[in-house]
A and B are shown apart, each in its own frame.
Chain A
Amino acid sequence: MRNESEREDKKLQVLNGLDLKRIITVAAQVLDDAKEEVNALNVFPVPDGDTGTNMALTLKSAIRDLDNLDTENISKVAATIARGSLMGARGNSGVILSQYFRGFSDGLANLQTANGPQLARAFDLAAKTTYKAVMKPVEGTMLTVGRAVAEACMKAVEKEDLSPEEVWRIGIEAGAAALNNTPNILPVLKEAGVVDAGGKGLLLALEGAYKALIGEIDLTAEKPAETVGPVQEGITRIAGVLKNKYCTEFLIKGSNLNADQIRQAIESKGDSVLVVGDEQVVKVHIHTDHPGQVLEYCGQLGDLTEIAIDNMKLQNEMITDDKLQQNNNVVSFPLNKVNQTATHNGETKPIGIVAVVPGDGLSEIFTSLGVDYVIHGGQTMNPSTEEIVHAVEQINAEAVIILPNNKNVIFSAQQAKDLCAKRVEVVATRTIPQGIAAMVGFAEHLSLDENLAAMEQELENVRSGEITFAVRSTKAGEIDIEEQDYIGLAEGKIVTAGRSLTAVGLELLDNLVDEDSSLISIYVGDNQDMQAAEEFKALVEEKFDFCEVELYHGGQPLYFYIMSVE
């Protein structure tokens, strides 16, 4: 903390590149610390609200390339932030945030430093760019918060000459008011009793930057941890088949936690087991072949956070590759999967396909349908734009079709399209069943345009249902939901909830099946055992006896069943 007089002296009349670098780095740290708080603002009570995670990761990527950039030129720093966030954009909120930085950077173009009015203009262009980026802007969201910041700043600098600090303060005050007002604009927020998550994330970042600007928070020496950590010494020595290949780390937050008991319970699942902590927080580290089972068990004891699962076998392979070792900036996505049979004959295919898919079973299904590259992710982990670009580049094909398979990934996929050299098309699949239907409609011998038309056509013939559980009590329309209830979503909307998975499942299907339906497919999640799923299937066959019913292991996290009706 600096004292008052020092602060007065240092009150900035202009903002330069080094200032921007410093405050945005703090903003990234602040947002990362608060991401769970933002995640909790999900309007749906589903267990995978990840707006905070997506925005924090996007911002982390925004500052990635600032390390080696020490320039006073603010336009260069802003451009670097914009490019970094664009590549790292995850989820819709991340994409919008990246567009915010793009506009911010455009507003500072060609400037060495920025004074108050110039900063206000940057905020203004930032907000305008986000509105242009979405096809149907919705008020009561991050867009509204950004616009309120911009309007307040522009109005303020019209009247008097203000310093960057003053502009920034006026902006975040207006942003905070706009955020608090979001429930009055968007009824879903009011119903859920929350403010908009994306708006909250944006405000947290702007507030964090402001606190750094006025010296309230200093830049710590500690850098945000990388997703893929350095490979430990011991691992490179392991030759051949690596047992317990997933390095799994996470925190359990709860009450009455007992580290010893947890250690005993998971010891048999792998090696290098480390369980430490107190009654409220326990850190778990284990090398295992069954990270899902470990998470499943520990999830029953409390809330899991900071989950990181790395495939050490693939890291090992990568680290022994000299070329990769020389390049510190190499991006790796260890859980993703290239379809070897599809791409390894060395020929350039006319059309390659990238799909974003959660779960081992679903990944295999997509691969068997001819997908060339499976990006591990989806509802619980939105891949970044960069990850999608990387996937597209891995495929030896003239053109690539991307199947996002999630409404929150479509935006990043479309952004990736503009960053790739080859022709890239996005078939906007919003669910896993739509993605599978699109793949069934794909035929290798047809042209790209014929395939796109056929795949789009297939989307109309399939209905999607999902079953997960409520993380808090709430009301969705007419449906009262208790915490831990099973909830059934038809085409993304909650249509049923209750204490019985079977009853919720059958009720959900009632919403999806009609007299023209002939096939029900059930993909079983990693939180549901196959025996119980077989019993559920028998009930479905009995109730909908005019339909064929197929059951597959999907392995997706958090969703007991993903179902399709066609």
Chain B
Amino acid sequence: MPRIHVVTDSGSDLPKSTRGQYNIHVVPLSIQFGEEIYRDGVELSADQFYHRLTESADLPSTCQPSPADFVKCYEEISEPGDQIISVHLSSKLSGTYQSAVLASTMVEDRDIHVIDTKSASLGIGLVVVAVAEAVQNGASVEEAVALAERVIDELKVYFVVDTLEYLRRNGRIGAASALVGSLLNIKPVLTLENGIVTPFDKVRGKAKAVRKIFDILGDYIKARPGQRLRIGLSHGNVLHEAQQLVDRIKSEFAGNDLIVELVGPTIGVHAGPGTIALMWYPM
């Protein structure tokens, strides 16, 4: 009997346990520090990455997987006749989706569906989990893909970065460029609109910014009584700040599904340390 496989990339920031639970395969992007290149999650862990980021003078960059990397993955995990759902980073932020689409035309005897989540970090992760869970519960590929489209449509992503420098230097700043150059320590509250980084609000001070994204979630929940959410919280190596947010979510909005993970190297290169991101969709 043909099986359905779920693939994503290292920009999805899913915890190892979640990947194991739903049998999710990850194709890594590469992180380049100077002359050295590491595959995300294979040769470079998130912890190592943040350590390296503060130690190293080199500003890292990312490199999308080649189509051949995807072909190799698709062929390794599946038998001829199997179906694959490949769920990826916003095509506006990375060429990863393009590589996967190309690869899907190069592999024979597999039915491959490549999905652009228009998101990043656990924003991708939440779509992947929705798809993998549906597959585990016996959904068809068509049903799982339709679900992915619904989730992408309803997905909310809000995040705070310590500095816009990383987004700017890597050319991922999008419409938030207007916020660069202020003499004050302005913390932008950012969102993703159509897969592009977009300013949502700006406040002074990190604490206020984090409170702001929590309030946005709170307003969303209050407007939909009884609606269960799947919530993702990813952070750029600021466990203490993240834990405070986790505690508040668990105490004030109990009963929702919550996934917490470090922002990995792939997204960390662009967002920088100190980032806090909150994303969710109605289950």
**Per-residue A-contact encoding for B173-199, CB less than 8 Å = 1, 0 else:** 000001001111110000000000001
Assembly CA distance A446 to B204 (angstroms): 19
A271 → B minimal CB distance (Å): 32
Cα–Cα distance between A365 and B186 once the two chains are bound (Å): 11
B171 located at the interface, meaning its Cβ lies under 8 Å from any Cβ of chain A in the complex: no
B181 touches A519 (CB 8 A): no
The interface residues of chain A lying within 8 Å CB-to-CB of B181 are: 368
Q: Which residue of A lies closest to B184 (CB)?
A: A365
Q: A residues within 8 A CB of B211?
A: 518
CB distance from B190 to the nearest CB of A (A): 13
Is the Cβ of B184 less than 8 Å from the Cβ of A436? yes
Report how far A566 CA is from B207 CA in the complex, Å.
11
Given A440-B202, A444-B178, answer yes or no on A365-B207 (Cβ-Cβ < 8 Å). Answer: no
C-alpha gap A186/B201 in the complex (Å)? 45
Sort chain B's interface into a size bin. Answer: 10 to 19
Within 8 A of B (CB), among A542-566: 548, 550, 552, 566
Check A519–B183 contact: CB distance below 8 A. Answer: no
Does A521 count as interface, using CB distance less than 8 angstroms?
yes
Q: Which residues on A sit within 8 Å (CB–CB) of B202?
A: 440, 443
Q: Contact check, B208 vs A566: say whether CB atoms are below 8 A apart.
A: yes
> In the complex, which residues of chain A have a beta carbon less than 8 angstroms from the beta carbon of B186?
369, 440
Q: How far is the CB of A81 from chain B (nearest CB, A)?
A: 43
Chain A residues near B207: list those with CB within 8 A.
518-519, 548
In the complex, which of the residues B182, B183, B205 contacts A518, with contact meaning CB atoms closer than 8 Å?
B205
Contact A566 B204 (CB under 8 A): yes
The residues of A that contact B178 with a CB separation of less than 8 Å are 444
- Cβ of B184 and Cβ of A548 under 8 Å apart? no
Q: Is the CB of A548 within 8 A of B206?
A: yes
| B203 located at the interface, meaning its Cβ lies under 8 Å from any Cβ of chain A in the complex | yes
Q: Is A364 an interface residue (CB 8 A)?
A: yes
A27 smallest CB distance to B (angstroms): 45
Min CB distance B156 to A, Å, is: 19
In contact, B208 and A364 (Cβ under 8 angstroms): no
Q: In angstroms, how far is the closest chain A Cβ from the Cβ of B19?
A: 36
Which residue of chain B has the shortest Cβ distance to A367 in the bound complex?
B183
Complex contacts, B184 vs chain A, CB 8 Å: 365, 368-369, 436, 440, 521, 550, 552
Residues of B within 8 A of A369 (CB): 182-184, 186
Distance between Cα atoms of A550 and B211 in the complex (Å):
19
**Which of A368, A521, A550 touches B182 (beta carbons < 8 Å)?**
A368
Q: Which of A364, A443, A521 meets B204, CB within 8 Å?
A: A521
Please indicate which of the listed interface residues A369, A443, A444, A518 has the most CB atoms of chain B within 10 Å of its own CB: A518
B17 to chain A, nearest CB (A): 34
| Least distance between B176 CB and chain A CB atoms (Å) | 11
Taking a contact as CB atoms under 8 Å apart, the answer to whether B183 and A364 are in contact is yes
B202's nearest neighbour on chain A, judged by CB, is: A440
Residues of B close to A437: CB separation below 8 A: 204
A361 to chain B minimum Cβ distance, whole angstroms, is 9
Taking CB atoms, residues of chain B closer than 8 Å to A368 are 181-184
Known A-B contacts A444-B178, A518-B211; A548 and B183 likewise in contact (beta carbons under 8 Å): no
Nearest CB to that of B210 among chain A residues? A518
Cα–Cα distance between A16 and B202 once the two chains are bound (Å): 61
A365 to B206, alpha carbons, bound, how many Å? 19
Q: Cβ of B183 and Cβ of A566 under 8 Å apart?
A: no
Q: Find B183's partner among A365, A440, A443 (CB 8 Å cutoff).
A: A365
The contact size tier of chain A is: 10 to 19
Q: Which of A326-381 contact B (CB under 8 A)?
A: 364-365, 368-369
Question: In chain B, what residue has the closest Cβ to A365?
Answer: B183
- Contacts of A424-455 to chain B: CB distance below 8 A: 436-437, 440, 443-444
Question: A566 CA to B206 CA in the complex, in Å?
Answer: 12
| A519 and B208 in contact, given A440-B202, A440-B203 (Cβ under 8 angstroms) | yes
519-557 of chain A: CB within 8 A of chain B: 519, 521, 548, 550, 552
Contacts of B205 in A (CB 8 A): 518-519, 548, 550, 566
The residue of chain A having its C-beta at the shortest distance from the C-beta of B199 within the complex is: A443
CA distance A369 to B185 in the complex (A): 11
- Residues in A with CB closer than 8 Å to B206 are 548
User: Which residue, B178, B186, B204, B208, has most C-beta atoms of chain A within 10 A?
Assistant: B204
- CB contacts (< 8 Å) of A550 on chain B: these are 184-185, 204-205
Q: Whose C-beta in chain A lies nearest to the C-beta of B200?
A: A443
B182 touches A519 (CB 8 A): no
Please name all residues of chain A whose beta carbon is closer than 8 Å to the beta carbon of B204 when the two chains form the complex: 437, 440, 519, 521, 550, 566
Q: Are B208 and A552 in contact (CB under 8 A)?
A: no
Bound Cα distance A548, B210 (Å): 13
Considering only CB atoms, which chain A residue lies closest to B209 in the complex?
A: A518
Instruction: Kindly state the separation between the CA atoms of A437 and B208 in the bound complex, as whole angstroms.
Output: 13
Measured in the bound complex, the distance between the Cα atoms of B182 and A364 in whole Å is 9
Query: In the complex, which residues of chain A have a beta carbon less than 8 angstroms from the beta carbon of B182?
Result: 368-369
With a cutoff of 8 Å between Cβ atoms, the chain B residues found around residue A566 in the complex are: 204-205, 208
Q: How far is the CB of A459 from chain B (nearest CB, A)?
A: 14
CA distance A550 to B208 in the complex (A): 14
Question: Complex: how many Å from CA A84 to CA B275?
Answer: 56
In the complex with contacts A444-B178, A518-B211, A552-B203 CB distance below 8 A: no
CB contacts (< 8 Å) of B201 on chain A: these are 443
Q: Find the A residue at minimum CB distance from B203.
A: A440
Q: Decide yes or no: A518 and B185 within 8 Å by CB, A440-B202, A440-B203, A444-B178 being known contacts.
A: no
Q: Which residues of B contact A552 (CB under 8 A)?
A: 183-184
- Docked CA distance A475–B183 (Å): 39
Q: Chain B nearest CB: distance from A461 CB in Å?
A: 9
CB-CB nearest in chain A for B201: A443
| Nearest A residue to B178, CB-CB | A444
For A441, give the chain B residue with the smallest CB separation.
Answer: B202
CB distance from B218 to the nearest CB of A (A): 16
Distance from A322 Cβ to chain B, minimum over Cβ atoms (Å): 36
| CA gap between A174 and B184 in the complex, in Å | 54
Query: Looking across the interface, which residue of chain A has its beta carbon closest to that of B206?
Result: A548
| A452 and B28 alpha carbons, distance in the complex (Å) | 47
Digit string of B114-158 for contact with A (CB within 8 Å is 1, else 0)?
000000000000000000000000000000000000000000000
Residue of B nearest to A549 (CB): B205
In the bound complex, CA of A462 to CA of B205 (Å): 13
Assembled-state Cα–Cα distance A368/B181 (Å): 7
How far apart are A543's CB and chain B's nearest CB, in angstroms? 17
Given A518-B205, A566-B204; 6 other pairs, CB 8 A cutoff: A364-B183, A365-B184, A437-B204, A440-B202, A519-B204, A519-B208
Nearest 9 interchain pairs by C-beta: A519-B205, A518-B207, A368-B183, A368-B182, A548-B205, A365-B183, A518-B205, A518-B208, A519-B204
Can you list 15 contacts pairing A with B, beta carbon distance less than 8 Å?
A368-B182, A368-B183, A368-B184, A369-B183, A436-B184, A440-B186, A440-B202, A440-B203, A440-B204, A444-B178, A518-B205, A519-B204, A519-B208, A548-B206, A550-B204
